[in-house]
């Protein structure tokens, strides 16, 4: 099966790139199942009910979150009605789930959402938490396990790879919005430190440049806004899994709003 993973969708420019292009990409590239990170999808912060419906109707199958998962309180009931998850290592009594289990092409797959420590909200240890979860999944017969590691620190994401490369199908890094040039397949595990945002590519991490620059110059924070007009990009990792849940091959697709597309193949290690 072929899985498509889209990193942080930022605001309306990101949603527009999804609605305009995802259906064609799935058809052209033979993608069976699409995962995307929603935490910046509604004007840069959280996810609204309306935008959730929009993204699912555009061809996304399940959505993962992060430190902005709960910015829009209208998301709370959606955890019970839609395939939406939040980081697994929030406290156990937090609304929602950190794992989504489903079947694709008659094969059981599990998607796990984790959040790192550095510069993030207070959460449980992602490393110890995920090991117990993977133990349970393996005992239930799961071989196809995909992780969204939503973290600031590149070391946390890289450490997770070396911990779990023989046990999971892929580890996709999100949160920084800046795509990294380290897509690889290691021991059958697809890995990238950060997929990169889908949204405005000519701002600052998808946002209008004014407020971030002012903050850097004088330390005063202002509301970060998503530009109404910008040059946009859709970034997606596509990886193919065999019957044992190992990645056969992987590639990164960068699609620009002018129609240009760049495809880069993963390095196999």
State which residues form the domain around 144: 2-268
Q: What is the pLDDT of residues 22-45, one digit of tens each?
A: 999 999 999 999 999 999 999 999
- Contact (Cβ atoms closer than 8 angstroms) between residue 43 and residue 72: no
Mean pLDDT of 89-97: 95
Query: How far apart are alpha carbons 181 and 193 in whole angstroms?
Result: 8
Mean pLDDT of 129-153: 97
DSSP 8-state symbol, 84: B
Residues 6+ apart with CB under 8 A from 38: 9, 47, 52, 55, 63, 64, 65, 84
Number of domains the chain is built from = 1
Q: What is the four-CA torsion angle of 157, 29, 166, 39, rounded to 10 degrees?
A: 30
pLDDT classification of 220: cutoffs 50, 70, 90: confident
Residue 213 maps to which CATH number? 3.60.21.10
221, pLDDT greater than 90: no
- Contact (Cβ atoms closer than 8 angstroms) between residue 173 and residue 195: yes
Per DSSP, the three-state class of 239 is: strand
Active site residues: 68
As a whole number, the mean pLDDT across the chain is: 96
């Amino acid at each position: 099966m072929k899985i498509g993973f889209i990193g942080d969708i930022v605001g309306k420019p990101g949603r527009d790139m999804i609605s305009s292009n995802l259906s064609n990409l799935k058809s052209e590239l033979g993608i069976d199942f699409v995962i995307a990170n929603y935490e910046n999808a509604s004007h840069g912060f959280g996810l609204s009910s309306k935008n959730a419906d929009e993204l699912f109707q555009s061809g996304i199958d399940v959505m993962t979150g992060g430190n902005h998962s709960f910015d829009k309180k209208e998301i709370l009931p959606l955890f019970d009605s839609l395939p939406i998850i939040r980081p697994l290592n929030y406290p156990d009594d937090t609304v929602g789930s950190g794992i989504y289990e489903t079947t694709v092409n008659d094969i059981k797959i599990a998607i796990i959402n984790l959040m790192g420590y550095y510069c993030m909200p207070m959460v449980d240890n992602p490393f110890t938490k995920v090991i117990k979860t993977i133990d349970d999944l393996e005992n239930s017969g799961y071989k196809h396990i995909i992780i969204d590691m939503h973290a600031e620190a590149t070391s946390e994401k890289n450490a997770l790879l070396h911990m779990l490369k023989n046990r999971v199908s892929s580890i996709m890094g999100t949160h920084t919005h800046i795509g990294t040039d380290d897509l690889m397949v290691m021991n059958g595990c697809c890995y990238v430190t950060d997929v990169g945002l889908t949204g405005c590519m000519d701002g600052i991490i998808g946002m209008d440049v004014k407020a971030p620059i002012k903050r850097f110059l004088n330390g005063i924070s202002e509301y970060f806004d998503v530009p109404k007009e910008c040059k946009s990009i859709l970034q997606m990792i596509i990886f193919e899994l065999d019957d044992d849940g190992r990645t056969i091959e992987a590639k990164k697709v960068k699609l620009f709003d002018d129609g240009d597309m760049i495809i880069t193949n993963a390095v196999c290690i």
